[in-house]
Amino acid sequence: MKHVQIPEQLRAQVAEWHKKNEAVAFVPTMGNLHAGHLSLIEIARQKAARVVVSIYVNPLQFSPDEDFASYPRTLDDDLKKLEMSGIDLVFTPDTATIYPEGEHQSTFVEVPGLSQIIEGEFRPGFFRGVATVVLKLFNMVQPDYAIFGEKDFQQLLVIRKMVKDLNLPVEIIGGAIKREKDGLAMSSRNNYLSTQEREKSCLLSATLLSLRDHILQGTDLHRATQICMQTLQNHGFVVDYVTLRGVAALENVTNDDIINEKELVILAAAKMGKTRLIDNIRFVIAGQNDNKT
């Protein structure tokens, strides 16, 4: 495995692979790698002859009151895991490389609409930071494929839209959420949870699954969502949002929209203690439409 910090070295290596017609799959990360990241690397390995992983904690996607300074940085451990995973190259740029003029003096990418709703309402500037750094990384790596986890489902859709809007020659692939045995979606931020908080955190996914079941049984959406939020609060979560949307563009869904084969996603963000957790559950509503001929 090559370890590169300079974009020119990265480009030279990728150009060499492309010259030999070897496709390149890219997994961007902020490090502190866990089984969720490794599952994205596995998808990358199946997709392309060469796999590049980046590790960069991007200051532009953190607001001043968020955890940029304390975000877990575990480079030595990460490098060992990457070596074992069989990737070809790890790219670990520093901020002087990514934002030579400082992150707030740089040209940025704004994906309209999708970036302002749901997670974007609670974290203004977050998707601008993500889209900007991902475009920069795409320009440096020049991958044929890029793999993003579906835990950050809205982020995945923002990246897909950016790629479409800007005609970028990269195929975006989503990797399924990896969960702990008790259902908690894997995340580097789970490390912040105390033992007691960790025990209660699995109730986020359990409560969302129960919301899904209520919806499938035909409970009124507003009522079912209210019950879900109340349940989470009773378990000690401070809820930012629980919302049911269409998977295509995270469009709002009403009781009347619940028709045959509509693919839906429940998106949620809630704090357990100081740790903000996000999760989502995707499902299809079938058989509600009597529109038979």
Applying CB under 6 A, does 133 fall inside the site for ligand PAF?
yes
Q: Which residues contact 241 (CB under 8 A, 6 or more apart)?
A: 118, 121, 122, 267, 268, 269
Please say if 37 is a catalytic residue: yes
Q: 272 - beta bridge partners?
A: 237, 275
Edge-to-edge strand order for the sheet containing 50-55? 2-4, 89-91, 50-55, 24-29, 145-149, 171-175
Of 22-30, 109-117, 189-197, 226-234, which part binds ligand PAF (CB under 6 A)? 22-30
Determine the Cα–Cα distance for residues 6 and 1; give it in Å rounded to an integer: 15
Written as six digits, the tokens of 183 are 């259902």
Alpha-carbon torsion 152, 155, 159, 165, what sign?
positive
Of 17-25, 26-34, 76-84, 283-291, which part binds ligand PAF (CB under 6 A)? 26-34
Applying CB under 6 A, does 131 fall inside the site for ligand PAF?
no
Applying CB under 6 A, does 28 fall inside the site for ligand PAF?
yes
Written as six digits, the tokens of 237 are 């979560």
Measured from the CB atom, the residue of 21 and 96 that comes closer to ligand PAF is 96
- Site of tokens 């203690």: 273
CB of 10 to ligand PAF, least distance (A): 16
CB of 61 to ligand PAF, least distance (A): 6
User: Which residue in 3, 37, 104, 235 is the catalytic one?
Assistant: 37
CB of 101 to ligand PAF, least distance (A): 19
Q: 185 - beta bridge partners?
A: 179
CB of 102 to ligand PAF, least distance (A): 17
126-141 vs 7-19: helix crossing angle, rounded to 10: 60
**Amino acid making up residue 152:** D
Applying CB under 6 A, does 175 fall inside the site for ligand PAF?
no
Applying CB under 6 A, among 23, 30, 227, 239 the residue interacting with ligand PAF is 30
- The answer to whether 162 touches 109, Cβ cutoff 8 Å, is yes
CA max distance for the chain: 64
Give the three-class secondary structure for 207: helix
Written as six digits, the tokens of 102 are 């400082």
Measured from the CB atom, the residue of 17 and 62 that comes closer to ligand PAF is 62
Measured from the CB atom, the residue of 51 and 133 that comes closer to ligand PAF is 133
Measured from the CB atom, the residue of 162 and 221 that comes closer to ligand PAF is 162
CB of 160 to ligand PAF, least distance (A): 13
CB of 152 to ligand PAF, least distance (A): 5
Written as six digits, the tokens of 98 are 């990514």
Of 28-36, 64-72, 106-114, 178-186, which part binds ligand PAF (CB under 6 A)? 28-36
Return the active site residues.
37
Residues near ligand PAF, by CB under 6 A: 28-30, 58, 61, 130, 133-134, 152, 155
